Amino acid sequence: MILLQFAVVLLRYVYGVSFVFLNEGVLYMHSALFMLGAGYTLLVDGHVRVDIFYSQMSRRRQAMIDAAGSAVLLLPSMAVLAWYTFPSVRNSWSVLEGAISVGGIPASFLLKSLIPAFCLLVAIQGLACLFRDLARLSAHKEGA
């Protein structure tokens, strides 16, 4: 992605030419990076969290908050997002929706397919986190 962006800048400012499909290539790669990497980011606990209070809490309390967040916020929001975007993705695939811009990559349907993939990957990782937190809570109960 960096090399492609470098080529776009080089072509535009050194040679005075621009290609829409190269710009869209950067967009497609950037979208794929974030949409497909969100589940991994959740795995390594890399998402933004307001931890003014969270960091001061006990491990048990943190596990309770994380489990509640996964069960009440994360998983339902992924289900709603998948549900409401599925018709758009299905329609896009049915007509093999073309480029976003004239001269662009004729595969907008692939870009839209990242949305349900994002939902699925984040939901799977959310379930894993929920089970992990529930296991922490039950292990803490048994050890207490």
Residue type, 56: Q
Q: What is the pLDDT of residue 109?
A: 95
Nearest alpha carbon to residue 134 among 48, 56, 69, 74: 69
Predicted local distance difference test score (pLDDT) of residue 54: 85
C-alpha distances in Å from residue 10, one per residue of 1, 28, 102, 103, 126: 14, 19, 22, 19, 41
Q: Token digits for 132?
A: 């992990």
Residue environment code for 46-75, b if the CB has 16+ CB neighbours within 10 A, otherwise e: eeeeeeeeeeeeeeeebbbebbebbeeebb
Residue bearing tokens 């790669």: 29
Per-position pLDDT tens, the chain of length 144: 999 999 999 999 999 999 999 999 999 999 999 999 999 999 998 888 777 888 888 989 999 999 999 999 999 999 999 999 999 999 999 999 999 889 999 999 999 999 999 999 999 999 999 999 999 998 867 655
Say which residues have a Cβ less than 8 Å from residue 103's Cβ, sequence separation at least 6. Answer: 19, 20, 21
CA distance 144 to 85: 45
Q: Please tell me the predicted confidence (pLDDT) of residue 143.
A: 59
Return the pLDDT at 51. 77
Among 67, 51, 40, CA closest to 133: 67
- Answer whether 36's CB lies under 8 Å from 121's CB: yes
Domain chopping of the chain, boundaries = 2-143
pLDDT number for residue 117: 97
